Amino acid sequence: MATTSLKKLSEREDLLSGGHAACPGCGGTVILRQVLLAAQQDDYHVVASIATGCMEVVTTIYPNSAWRVPLVHNAFENSAATISGAEAAYRSLKRQGKYEGKVAFFAFGGDGGTYDIGLQSLSGALERGHNFTYVCYDNEAYMNTGIQRSGATPKGANTTTAPAGKVEPGKRECKKDLTAIVIAHNIPYCAQASPHQPRDLMKKAQKATVTEGPCFINVLSPCPRGWRFPPDQTIQIAQLAADTCVWPLYEIENGKLTINYKPREKKPVTEWLKSQGRFKHLFQPKNQYLVEEIQQDVDARWRRLLAREAADSEEPE
């Protein structure tokens, strides 16, 4: 049964076991555990695919696996294509009367395998209308292969392929708004979430599980190694992203947008930037303009979300 009671959820079997090789403080494994706990409802069996990336590497070191569900490892670019094939086979078996159970199909990928390399595969699966949920754990760079910049890397961040130095101040481009790209596919359910609010994330995963058609959940995944913060600060960093509106928490159900968290006092983006070593160069006097641009970008996006929510609430049901 669907529940967001942490006590009841804690009594369920973890479908991602301990003993994996993730870094201390990794946000990705927290996200996987929360989503897989939430997916255990209404007698659904969970089947998953996962793109090459941090979570695949640390949870499936041969000959071991931390997964307690059927899992397919895919190349960087085709997690959505693989799970859509499995879902199509399942529908065929149901039509033939060869299978009676209920299956919740999940595809997982990092930002490299979702924002960038896997975007074509994801877009195709969404457009075709497969009944599955795609979960992106967004750690904002290619962390698995050496902290290279990705389309999810925010403006000003220092990465190995967009280094901060005398010539360049880190990445100059803004972070791609993947959630907005997915929303443009007119799917029935799409959301942004964060591991610091487990009830919110798991409620969204539960909604996606029982929603007919393609669903997408984009989850911020703080990375101590790549973002340069102490590993015991992961949840606090995620909270700060929401409090500064760098990472708004919202969902769109059948075209209607609802913001799930509005900070009582929106914190300045400088608090977010100062919490991570990847942004430390931005506080040199020559880079002050970038801090101002980042704040303007965050404010503009937040205003657009508020405006859309207000407009959607005025539309007749």
Asked whether residue 34 carries a pLDDT value surpassing 90, the answer given is: yes
Show the tokens assigned to 38: 């939430």
Residues 119-164: tens digit of each pLDDT: 999 999 999 999 999 999 999 999 999 999 999 999 999 999 999 9
Q: What is the mean pLDDT of residues 38-49?
A: 90
Residue 314 pLDDT level (bands cut at 50, 70, 90): confident
> Following DSSP, what letter does each residue of 99-162 receive, concatenated?
--SEEEEEEEEESIIIIITTHHHHHHHHHHT-S-EEEEEE-SSBGGGTSB--TTPPTT---SSS
- Does residue 2 surpass a pLDDT of 80? no
Residue 210: per-residue pLDDT: 94
Which has the closest alpha carbon to 234: 20, 29, 66? 29
Domains and CATH numbers, the chain: 6-314 (3.40.50.970)
Which whole number is the average pLDDT over 98-107?
A: 95
Distance CA 63, CA 139 (A): 26
Confidence tier at 43 by pLDDT (50, 70, 90) = confident
- Model pTM score: 0.96
Mean pLDDT of 289-310: 98
Residue type, 147: I
